[in-house]
Amino acid sequence: MKTVIRVLLGIAIAFLCFICVKSVTTPIGFENKRAERETAVVKNLVALRTAENEFRMQNGRFTANLDSLILFVKTGSKKEVVKEGALTDKQLEDGLTELKAVKMIQKAQKTGNWKEVKEAGLEGFKRDTISAPLLESLYKGEYDENTIENIIYIPYTDGIRYEVLVNDDYTTSQGIRVPLVEVRAHYNTWMGDQDAQELVNLIDKEEQLFHYPGLRFGSIDEPNNNAGNWE
């Protein structure tokens, strides 16, 4: 009988030790996993913000249609200024600006008289506006036509897309219409396969603070310059 009691006590002690260790390691492991995954989720959010901002620049509004957004990035173009040469400190001190230099060169191109340009030392100065493919202009080779589509999907999910909300009716107190966008990824989507209780605790904590329980940029309630809640 005593042997049985000792065995049972040993099992109970071992179980309690396991519970104590798990109570410490589980939250740490959960937070480590959240930090690791957050990097990938944020990377796509930043890329989407870049695309949405450019879409608004060219169309006057944001779009909630991610397929249309990707098509816009793949097929669109953007005007860029190609720069050759730079003004020296002496030229700047003399009151020469890039705008003045460009006008001087444009005048020479029209008249064929390059004397003023040469006297100003602007022979190697050039500013041309070109139309560049939007995908390359926005992302500088980070994405191509095959990989750009990945930014609309939340990492660590089975193809779940970011949620996109737009508000085209927001008007400031001055009566100015300002289009708004909000793009987000709830914790349930990219942390749903982790410890259930830790996930519930995390979401509850954010909601108690009136924070969105996940990652997002922008807001459809008020302008915030499309800031991300991770920034």
Q: How far apart are CA 191 and CA 206, in angstroms?
A: 14
Which candidate, 50, 60, 62, places its Cα nearest to that of 176? 60
pLDDT digits (tens, 9 = 90+) for 140-154: 999 999 999 999 999
Q: Decide which of 148 and 102 is more confident.
A: 148
Give me the amino acid identity at 55: F
Beta strands in 45-149 (DSSP E): 77-84, 126-133
Residue 182 confidence (pLDDT) above 60:
yes
Distances (CA, A) of 168 to 98, 142, 182, 184: 37, 31, 12, 18
pLDDT digits (tens, 9 = 90+) for 45-88: 999 999 999 999 999 999 999 999 999 999 999 887 778 888 88
The mean pLDDT value of the chain amounts to: 89
pTM here is 0.78
Nearest Cα neighbor of 78 from 149, 129, 148, 144 is 129
